[in-house]
Amino acid sequence: MAIVGVSGSGKSTLMHILSSMLRPNCGKVELFGKDIYALGDSELVKLRRNDLGLIYQSHYLFKGFSAYENLEVAAILANQAIDTALLERLGIERVISQKVTELSGGQQQRVSIARVLSKNPRLIFADEPTGNLDHATADEVMGIFEEYLERNKAGMVLVTHDEKLAGRCSHLYRMQNGTLSAV
C-alpha cells in the first residue's frame, strides 16, 4: 500500500506508529495478530529484527563503517546472509568496501534498501525510499521491491510524494491534515 500527501500531513508520523517506532497517544496497532504496543521490550525487538524492515529518508547507516559492514551487522542480527546478487541489481557491488560517508546519497539509500531486503522481512515500511534516486534507478528499485514482495509473500507500506510511484501499489491512501482516506 502507498500513503501519499503533502509535507507535514502526518504520513511519516503514521508510518512510525505503524512500524513500532513511535507509540500512539491512543488506540492500538496490530501486526501479525499481535498488538505491538502490548508486547514486552524483548518481544518488540524480536519483531523489529525478524519481521519488519524499515527504510527511512535518512539512511541511519553506521557512519564509521563501510557499506559492507553496515550490511554485515544487519545480516548477523537477523541471522541471514548478504544477498550479493541483490547488491549487483542495486548497482552498489563496486562501492561495497567504501565508507558510507564516501558514498552519494543515492548509493547510501541503496545500501539501506539492501540492508533491509537482505534480512527477509515480512513487512517493509519505506519512507520515501527512492527520494535520493534518479527516475530510472527509482523505477528499477521499485521493480526489485515488487519482485521481493511477490516472491516472499510480504507486504509494504510506502510513504511517498511521488504519485506515479504510489500508483504501482495495489492500495493507495491519501493523508491530509492527519486524516487517512482511500483513493
Q: How confident is the model at residue 180 (pLDDT cuts 50, 70, 90)?
A: very high
Report DSSP state, residue 57. Answer: S
pTM above 0.85, yes or no: yes
Q: Which residues contact 52 (CB under 8 A, 6 or more apart)?
A: 19, 20, 31, 121, 122, 123, 124, 125
Task: Give the residue from 115, 112, 104, 149 showing the smallest Cα distance to 128.
Answer: 112
89-99 confidence digits (pLDDT tens):
999 999 999 99
Separation CA 128–CA 1 (nearest Å)? 13
CA angle 139, 142, 24 (to 5 degrees): 130
Summarize pLDDT for 30-81 with one digit per residue, the tens: 999 999 999 999 999 999 988 999 998 777 899 999 999 999 998 888 888 8
Grid coordinates 525487538 are at which residue?
Answer: 45
Average pLDDT in the chain: 92
DSSP strand pairing (2-4 vs 30-31): unpaired
Q: Which domains does the chain have, with CATH numbers?
A: 2-182 (3.40.50.300)
1 contacts: CB under 8 Å, gap ≥ 6: 155, 156, 157, 158, 169, 170, 171, 172, 173
